Amino acid sequence: MDKPRSFQQIILNLQTYWAAQGCAVLQPYDMEVGAGTFHPATTLRALGSRPWAAAYVQPSRRPTDGRYGENPNRLQHYYQYQVLIKPSPPDLQELYLGSLRAIGIDDALHDIRFVEDDWESPTLGAWGLGWEVWCDGMEVSQFTYFQQVGGHDCRPVSGELTYGLERLAMYVLGVDHVMDMPYNDPDAPIALSYGDVFRQTEAEYSRWNFDIADTDTLLRHFEDAEAEAARILDAPALDPRSGRQIIMAHPAYDQCIKASHIFNLLDARGVISVTQRQAYIGRVRALAKRCADAFVATEAGGARGADESGRGDGDGQAA
Amino acid sequence: MPDLLIELFSEEIPARMQARASADLKRMVTDGLVEAGLTYAHAGGFATPRRLVLALEGLTARSPDTREERKGPKVGAPDKAVEGFARGAGVERAALQTRADKKGEVYFALIERPGRPAAEIVAEVLETTVRGFPWPKSMRWGSGSLTWVRPLHSILCLLHDEAGAETVALEIDGIRAGDSTRGHRFMAPAEFVVTSFEDYTAKLRRAKVMLDPQERADAIRNEMGNLAFAGGLEPIEDPALLSEVAGLVEWPVPLMGRIDEAFLDLPPEVLQTSMREHQKFFSLRAKSGQITGFVTVANRETADDGATILAGNLKVLAARLSDAKFFWENDLRVARDEKMAPWTAALERVTFHAKLGTQAERIARITALAREIAPQIGADADPAEEAAGIAKRDLASEMVYEFPELQGLMGRYYAEAAGHSAEIAAVAQEHYQPLGPSDDVPSAPLSVAVALADKIDMLTGFWAIEEKPTGSKDPYALRRAALGVIRLVLENRLRLPLMPLIEGRAGDAGDLLSFFHDRLKVYLREQGVRHDVIDACLAMPGTDDLARLVARARALSDFLGTEDGGNLLQGFKRAANILAQAEQKDGVEYSFGADRKFAEKSEETALFDALDAAEPAISEALEREDFEAAMRQLAALRAPIDAFFEAVQINAESQIMRRNRLNLLSRIRGLCLNVADLTRIEG
């Protein structure tokens, strides 16, 4: 593959590379998330016994990181590239290094290092061991072997790779300010920089995140998402309309994602105290855990004969 | 005698775990081999980021044959018992022997265990070691169930001697031990076979792996010295970083760079911390002392001699230092132009602990304490209040948010920028000290006052909300805080009774005082003062004055070490025992009125004389808190007391004489107990 000249070329090279390694190239999840890990293709699919291999770009939002588009490398909206393979293949490190070559990082000239960095997500009740990967002293990816998600042991273990795309691309392309980075090919008839695409939105969202977002509304939405998730999971498995057992892990998990993002917004608004923080994180974790419990009871979650086994143990609504 | 080579080859092992892991591998394998009857001449453990290695020299080729005789039931015992015995011993019933014993004929079993080949034992021991390895954190991977620090890829296990090498047959969770390994991940990834430890290290070196962590560290230090010297710079020693970096590379290649001039205005501590914590760079300083360069250690050689790697690292450093400079300049502006006021406001919103309020509230408590303490230790209350009020402002600064380890130091810079005197500014840095048993103790009175206030507030606060340390749990480092108070008081020779400071603040102040006493015991024990000596002094009044308590304990400890002291203690104990018995028997307390006119013998009169002389001298010495002088006076009593016991019968026929002598003993007891509670001294 050619040495990339633009942000999008790096994404395309990664897509091509991981497709060639047999991953299903998925599309971004259509909800606001803080990181690629929140995509159900990672969080939920890391659970259960079924093999899985997926790669995708995930737009991610971290409201507290907004800098109005002025900081050379901090953004409230950015992209992660995410790979999840279950069970983790024995040559995952080599596969990963191959992906760096695919985007123009020649390991004969660069110093690539695996530096201890254990990953933990208190909101997802998840943790794993692995590294941050350094290229010439810069962190370019996170490499994790998932051990637990939503309080469940991961068996088999998934290998997760997360690339911070902007930072990685800035390095590969030799750009010092993210807004100066070529988004499409610099020789394209209409060449666009990252700033052409995102400078305006960074400023707008920074202002909204920090000062305008209505905290009362957000607090209410948090409560609503939490209640809705519980309601979804409390519904009996037997669907009277179709007569099938349908556990709704994914719709419930959507509400969990929503609650998590609303929490991040509230945090950016500075209305969550240190003590409250832990309580909110605990509430989101409780949701994530219930969603994980639900997912492993579904067929996709590896439960054998999930369609039949639950039949008849509804709580009377079927009658 | 064969040698044994074991290599456990995995994905990258965290640097901080490597030294411990290679020691554990050595310990577990050698213990297991020795337990199984093998011996060895020498063992060496090594670690790199990707391998744990053990090399044993001179291992015995087989474990020895063993022979054990086991005594069984009497001949004629029930069949079941005899059968059971034979089965338990692992021999046929027919093979049992009979021998005459004191009580008649008895069955004996002769158990012979032939020795086993080393390979068999090694295989068992290594499997047990791998399965039970004490990693601080370990993980599963793929579909397997084995746990290791990171995925384990291969095991090399070789027994070798002059005749050749033998691969030990062993398989753990699908990983079959072999005789091959791989070189450097990037420079020599091919697999190769090895035949001995010598062959292994030589081939590894050709494959760009330095096996010995010490050799890697030395190589880094030497090359760093050369690079720095050539550039007119000097490395700042950092042993912890050196050992960490040696654990991040298999083939260290130090590269030197210069810090962009734009960043040289940053405080040197900021440069060093940023480079160390984020980039694992070593700092280099110029003759002037200014940090102007760094060394980064790459894990490979490149065709461009590291130019690309260095350029990349410089870029990352520039981004980091731009952040730091941004924080520094913002912070300085807040300090200089707004006198740190926004930070005060910010600290009102930061919770220190849910039950202990905000940082601002804590600072207010520390300020009040510092005001109270200052006049007692030779400082003025007003500057102490000023210093306490600003000492923790930097907690709200951007720099400290980014680098928490710079707290205090930044506070000092910012306080100076805000126009506070150097003396006040220094308090920001020094009031955290001492951080441990070997950390420096501040001596400037203002710093001491705020340091004491800081720690006493921690202790009284957590005592008040009943979150005291228990067992190994001490999440708020309260033991360290108490030791800090002890060291601040003692090493500055402060007279500072603690009760007035903790009463009303700590909930159960008496309990907190005992906590201080417990820490003090540990502190004094390390200096050779026995616990019973401390107990003897703790039984005296006014033990919240640590300086007095310790002066008494040291004097008593020294005194008891002398011959006079030891003998006086015996005399005291004898007197106290006789008195106690008599008092119990008679139901009265003999506590006054020994009268010289009933003295019968000259030894008795002499004791009266000695006590008459000692009593005022001792109380005068105690008045001055000159415990050594008081002990000297006690020592002078030794001879008259010994002579008295030698010559005089206490339980005399005459009740008057007896009472008089008991009352005389009571004077001895009382006098001694004025100095310290000698009843608590053992022996």
Closest Cβ opposite residue B142 in set A72, A113, A157: A157
Task: Give the containing element (helix H, strand E) for A279.
Answer: helix A274-296
* Candidates B9, B10, B139, partner chain A, best to mutate (most A CBs within 10 A): B139
What pLDDT is attached to residue B475? 85
Interface size, chain A vs chain B, as Cβ–Cβ contacts under 8 Å: 101
Q: Residue B62: helix, strand or coil by DSSP?
A: strand
Q: Any chain B CB within 8 A of the CB of A107?
A: yes
What pLDDT is attached to residue A271? 80
Dist. CA B546–CA B499, nearest whole Å: 11
> 């003090």: which residue's tokens?
B520
Q: Are B144 and B174 in contact (CB under 8 A)?
A: yes
Average pLDDT, chain B: 93
Residue B218 gets the label, from left (phi > 0), alpha (psi -120 to 50) or beta, of: alpha
Dist. CA B408–CA B529, nearest whole Å: 35
What pLDDT is attached to residue A305? 59
Q: Any chain A CB within 8 A of the CB of B345?
A: no
Tokens of B239: 């042993």
**Confidence label for B384 from pLDDT (cuts 50, 70 and 90):** very high
* Candidates A107, A129, A170, partner chain B, best to mutate (most B CBs within 10 A): A129
Closest Cβ opposite residue B142 in set A87, A128, A147: A87
What CA dihedral angle connects B96, B98, B102 and B103, to 10 degrees? 80
Contacts of A275 in chain B (CB under 8 A): 351, 354
Nearest chain B residue to A275 by CA: give it. Answer: B354
Nearest to B678 by CA among B596, B587, B572: B572
A6 has a pLDDT exceeding 80: yes
Residue B230 buriedness (CB in 10 A; 0-12 / 13-18 / 19+): exposed
Tokens of B334: 């807040």
What pLDDT is attached to residue A190? 98
CATH architecture entry for B562-680: Orthogonal Bundle (1.10)
For the beta carbon of residue A269, count every other beta carbon within 10 angstroms: 20
Nearest to A38 by CA among A215, A277, A255: A255
H-assigned helices in A71-114: 92-102
Task: Classify residue B275 by its DSSP letter.
Answer: I
B275 has a pLDDT exceeding 60: yes
Dist. CA B486–CA B510, nearest whole Å: 16
Q: Any chain A CB within 8 A of the CB of B257?
A: no
For the beta carbon of residue B219, count every other beta carbon within 10 angstroms: 19
Is it true that the peptide bond before A28 is cis, omega within 30 degrees of 0? no
Q: Any chain B CB within 8 A of the CB of A134?
A: no
Contacts of A157 in chain B (CB under 8 A): 139-143
Nearest chain B residue to A137 by CA: give it. Answer: B313
Closest Cβ opposite residue A116 in set B14, B151, B299: B14
What CA dihedral angle connects A209, A212, A216 and A217, to 10 degrees? -80
Inter-chain residue contact B312 with A72, CB threshold 8 Å: no
Dist. CA B154–CA A91, nearest whole Å: 13
pLDDT in tens, B279-331: 999 999 999 989 999 999 999 999 999 999 999 999 989 988 988 898 899 99
Angle, helices B15-35/B118-131, rounded to nearest 10 degrees: 140
Q: What is the ipTM of this complex?
A: 0.91
**Confidence label for B259 from pLDDT (cuts 50, 70 and 90):** very high
Tokens of B674: 């004025």
Dist. CA A266–CA A259, nearest whole Å: 10
Inter-chain residue contact B350 with A114, CB threshold 8 Å: no
A307 has a pLDDT exceeding 60: no
Task: Classify residue B237 by its DSSP letter.
Answer: P
* Candidates A136, A141, A175, partner chain B, best to mutate (most B CBs within 10 A): A136
CATH 3.40.50.2020 fits A214-309, yes or no: no
Closest Cβ opposite residue A275 in set B150, B309, B354: B354
Q: Any chain B CB within 8 A of the CB of A295?
A: no
Dist. CA A241–CA A92, nearest whole Å: 45
> For residue B460, what are the contacts with CB-CB under 8 A and spacing of at least 6?
B501, B502, B505, B506, B507, B509, B512
- Dihedral sign (CA B184, B190, B191, B196): negative
Tokens of A105: 């990082």
Dist. CA A132–CA A162, nearest whole Å: 9
Residue B341 gets the label, from left (phi > 0), alpha (psi -120 to 50) or beta, of: alpha
Give the C-alpha distances (Å, rounded to integers) separating B381 from A94, B219, B496.
Answer: 66, 55, 15
Chain centroid to Cα A232, Å, comes to 23
Which amino acid is it at B89?
Answer: A
Least trusted range by pLDDT, from A177-186, B131-140, B401-410: B401-410
Q: Which CATH superfamily is domain A7-209 in?
A: Bira Bifunctional Protein; Domain 2 (3.30.930.10)
Question: How close B309 comes to chain A (CA, Å)?
Answer: 5
Is it true that the peptide bond before A156 is cis, omega within 30 degrees of 0? yes
Instruction: Find the mean pLDDT for residues B449-458.
Output: 96
Nearest chain B residue to A172 by CA: give it. Answer: B312
pLDDT in tens, B165-223: 999 999 999 999 999 999 999 999 999 999 999 999 999 999 999 999 999 999 999 99
Nearest to B133 by CA among B214, B192, B52: B52
Tokens of B370: 């510092």
Instruction: Find the mean pLDDT for residues B522-530.
Output: 89
Q: Are A143 and A130 in contact (CB under 8 A)?
A: yes
**Confidence label for A319 from pLDDT (cuts 50, 70 and 90):** very low
pLDDT in tens, B53-102: 999 999 999 999 988 888 888 888 898 989 999 998 888 888 888 888 88
Task: Give the containing element (helix H, strand E) for B373.
Answer: helix B359-373
Percent of chain B with pLDDT over 90: 69
Inter-chain residue contact A109 with B302, CB threshold 8 Å: yes
pLDDT in tens, A185-214: 999 999 999 999 999 999 999 999 988 999
Least trusted range by pLDDT, from A253-262, B83-92, B140-149, B458-467: B83-92
- pTM score, whole prediction: 0.79
Instruction: Find the mean pLDDT for residues A115-127.
Output: 93
pLDDT in tens, A238-272: 999 999 999 999 999 999 999 999 999 998 887 87
Instruction: Find the mean pLDDT for residues B5-12.
Output: 98
For chain A, give every domain's residue range: 7-209, 214-309
Task: Classify residue B158 by its DSSP letter.
Answer: E
Dist. CA A249–CA A246, nearest whole Å: 9
Give the C-alpha distances (Å, rounded to integers) separating B305 from A109, A157, B310.
Answer: 9, 40, 9
A312 has a pLDDT exceeding 50: no
Rg from Cα positions in chain A: 21
Partnered with residue B193 across adjacent β-strands are B180
What pLDDT is attached to residue A275? 65
Instruction: Find the mean pLDDT for residues A104-130.
Output: 94
**Confidence label for A310 from pLDDT (cuts 50, 70 and 90):** very low
Q: Residue A181: helix, strand or coil by DSSP?
A: coil
Q: Residue A15: helix, strand or coil by DSSP?
A: helix
Inter-chain residue contact B351 with A275, CB threshold 8 Å: yes
For chain B, give every domain's residue range: 3-62+117-206, 67-113, 213-337, 353-397+407-551, 562-680
Task: Give the containing element (helix H, strand E) for B577.
Answer: helix B563-586
H-assigned helices in A180-248: 194-207, 215-234
pLDDT in tens, A136-173: 999 999 999 999 999 999 999 999 999 999 999 999 99
Q: Are B144 and A147 in contact (CB under 8 A)?
A: no
Which amino acid is it at B187?
Answer: M
- Write phi, then psi, for B581 (nearest 5 degrees): -65, -45
Q: Any chain B CB within 8 A of the CB of A111?
A: yes
Dist. CA B324–CA B262, nearest whole Å: 12
Closest Cβ opposite residue A115 in set B248, B302, B316: B248
What pLDDT is attached to residue A316? 37
